[in-house]
Amino acid sequence: QVQLVESGGGLVQPGGSLTLSCAASGSIFRLHVMGWYRQAPGKQRELVATITSSFSTSYADSLKGRFTISRDNAKNTVYLQMNSLKPEDTAVYYCNVIASSERGSLPMNYWGKGTLVTVSS
Cβ atoms of residues 105 and 112 within 8 Å: no
Tens digit of each residue's pLDDT (9 = 90 or more) over 9-47: 999 999 999 999 999 999 999 999 999 999 999 999 999
pLDDT band at 64 (very low <50, low <70, confident <90, very high): confident
CA 7, 63, 108, 28 torsion-angle sign:
negative
